[in-house]
Structure 1
Amino acid sequence: MTGSWAFWALLSAGFAAPTALLAMAGVAGVDSDFATFARTLVVALLAGLIVFAAGRWPAPGTVTARTYLYLGLSGLATGASWLCYFRALKLGEAARVAPIDKLSVVFVAVFATLFLGEKLSFLNWAGVFLIALGAVLVAQRA
């Protein structure tokens, strides 16, 4: 089961769910940019410890410049996303911010189709549409 992408995706969702609640509590007393910085330090330390403990640190020179470029760009996008997310949590309600943040699922489907050549079926697109609709409906003030 641990070799399944679905297992890890569900585990990711399970860990992601409390992050909004914990971040909302954490950002209450500090600047949102500082909160993002503190969270990022924890993530970097944890990831580094896991890689080191598992013995998966690559030998110098074995990682290509292209890999570093894409990982660096991904890191910049992650950082920008987190800064915006924490700012949104500082200004809004977690139950409304988190669903809008999850519109990233919709953007990934569109971008993967346009730029990576991935194919989605009609049923897949229906699901993407429902995710978008659900995010907008949950974010509405009743």
Structure 2
Amino acid sequence: MTYAFVSMFFAGFTSVIAKMGLTGISAELGLTKRTLFVCGFVLMFGAWTVPVQHLAGVNSHNLLWLGISGLSTALSWIFYYKALKEGDVATVALIDKGSVIIAMLLAWLLLREVITLRMVAGAGLIVAGLLVLTKR
């Protein structure tokens, strides 16, 4: 769980800093530049932390699902940056976090993960927050 909280912390910074970086340029150009930085940082991280012998363990199943995940990430980022360019950071970020509900449902359907009452209550609060922040 510690990694999830650290991720949350940096994700919060990401939206505000990205909005600042989009000043005077298109969302598409901003996303492209940001993605180049992400690619470079992730490649350096992988080179530093992944043992070379692990590369042989990658199979077509891994590549298929990671490729689909990459496509999904790309589409998410494209629309996120377009929304960020047009809207308020807090509203866009909260709507994006509604993806928790989609992830929960997909994990239940595809991975057979259990949805608990606590999770349903949390999802309900997310939906309530979405409704409050998106109403004009």
RMSD: 1.5
Name which of structure 1's ranges 81-90 and 132-141 shifts more when overlaid on structure 2: 132-141
Q: Residue 71 of structure 2 corresponds to which residue in structure 1?
A: 76
Give the C-alpha shift of residue 115 in structure 1: 2.0
Q: What TM-score does the superposition give when structure 2 sets the normalisation length? A: 0.92
Q: Deviations over 1:54-107 (max 9, x none)?
A: 243455543101111111111110010001000001111112111001100111
Q: How do 1:12-51 and structure 2 match up within 5 A?
A: 12-51=7-46
- Match of residue 97, structure 1, among 92, 97, 100: 92
CA distance in 2, matches of 1:140, 1:22: 25
Q: Residue 113 of structure 2 corresponds to which residue in structure 1?
A: 118
C-alpha change, 1:55 and 1:109, in structure 2 (3 Å) is closer
Between the two proteins, the alignment pairs up a number of residues equal to 136
CA distance in 1, matches of 2:53, 2:40: 17
CA distance in 1, matches of 2:20, 2:122: 32
Q: Residue 8 of structure 1 corresponds to which residue in structure 2?
A: 3
Name which of structure 1's ranges 59-68 and 39-48 shifts more when overlaid on structure 2: 59-68
Q: Deviations over 1:28-61 (max 9, x none)?
A: 2111111111111111111110111224345554
Long gaps (5+) in structure 2? none
C-alpha change, 1:57 and 1:77, in structure 2 (3 Å) is farther
* Contact 1:88–1:97 (Cα < 8 Å) also in 2: yes
* Contact 1:97–1:139 (Cα < 8 Å) also in 2: no
Long gaps (5+) in structure 1? 1-5
- Match of residue 127, structure 1, among 122, 130, 133: 122
